[in-house]
A and B are shown apart, each in its own frame.
Chain A
Amino acid sequence: MNITKSNEGQITILAIEGRLDTTNYNELENVFLEVFTAEKFQVILDLSGLEYVSSSGLRVMLMALKKISAAKGTFVLSNMRDSIHEIFEISGFTTIFKIEKDVNAALKHF
């Protein structure tokens, strides 16, 4: 898995590529912790390169959503493939996450 961090003004964009599973979910967790430690709670995930996510990866995203919500920030997921979207549906996550088709649409939430 590759995680690339970039900024659009005050907004942090994390692009995740590859497989997010039990062997590497802590890498994403650590990136989120760095972002939150820097008091940044305006976050977009660009998931165009995400090929696979298991429950371990979903748990990290839920943790991030809870921290960002508690800090009154905004968290938007974007560019999700259909196969990944189905996993979010099965998890009941489509009702609690803001999900947009691309980063430009996600930026409109801020």
Chain B
Amino acid sequence: MAALKLILKNNISELDHLARFLEETGDQMGFSMKLVMNLNLVLEELVTNIIFYGFKDKAPHEISIEFNIDDDKIAITITDDGIPFNPTLKDSPDSINKSIDERDIGGLGIHFVNALMSSMSYERKDNKNILYLIKTRD
């Protein structure tokens, strides 16, 4: 079992930092390339949402991502002090099986989260959004 924590600023360039952190952690923990990519996809979507829509002021904010890594699962907790936002209430888009013309541009990100993680739950506590994710390891 290992516990790791990554703090990102609310700047989109921090996604590079996230990607490097996941690659290094994946190397150390023996994650498959697919697992590293799937975690990166999910966290990119969630962190991007927080950075773009979470903050109404121009002040710097921190987004904390904690990892608790076991042999059989990875538990991730994302905490931010942005406006209340519960991603578990967003459904995957219903356009996934539609034709080119009907396909819209939005909603893919939350679809990735739903499709690639084993579970997700949300809590608003002390004026913070706390999102709990679990990824079962193959």
Contacts and interface: CB of A to CB of B under 8 A. Distances in A.
A109 interface: no
Q: Is the interface of B mostly helix, strand, loop or mixed?
A: helix
A55 B109 contact: yes
Contacts, number: 64
Nearest to A68: B100
Nearest to A58: B108
B33 to A, nearest CB: 7
B115 A96 contact: no
A23 B15 contact: yes
A22 interface: yes
Interface residues of B, number: 28
Interface stretch (B40-48, B55-63, B64-72, B76-84): B40-48
B3 interface: no
Given A22-B15, A95-B97, A52 B111 contact: no
A101 to B, nearest CB: 20
A55 B45 contact: yes
Contacts of A66: 100-101
7 contacts: A56-B48, A58-B108, A62-B100, A62-B105, A69-B101, A83-B34, A87-B41
Interface of B: 12-13, 15-16, 19, 33-34, 37, 40-41, 44-45, 48, 95-101, 103, 105, 108-109, 111-112, 115-116
